[in-house]
Amino acid sequence: MKKILFLMTLLIMGISFAFAQTNADIKFDKTTHDFGKFSEKSPVVSCTFTFTNIGDAPLVIHQAVASCGCTVPEYTKEPIMPGKKGTIKVTYNG
């Protein structure tokens, strides 16, 4: 009985802690980009996507992954505080 009471107490504390947590939320200025036409002699083109942390906790990006090897993302590594902006630079090698 004491074990059940102890486990229930831990469960209630865990749920309360989870609901008390604040969340980061991300909003991009734009989500797509058309590179248009580019030269075969100069096939490397880049675009920077800017985003804002609209949540109430620091936003941390742990990983940005491209769907193919011809695209390389670079992103803001430090935590983005609420209301602040960060960037993801995408370089495409055609």
Residue 13 resides in a domain: no
Domain encompassing residue 29: 23-93
Q: How confident is the model at residue 40 (pLDDT cuts 50, 70, 90)?
A: confident
Residue 14 resides in a domain: no
Residue 8 resides in a domain: no
pLDDT tens string 8-19:
665 565 555 544
- In this structure, which amino acid lies at residue 23? N
Residue 4 resides in a domain: no
* pTM more than 0.75: no
Q: Decide: helix, strand or coil at residue 74.
A: strand
Q: How confident is the model at residue 23 (pLDDT cuts 50, 70, 90)?
A: confident
Number of independent structural domains in the chain: 1
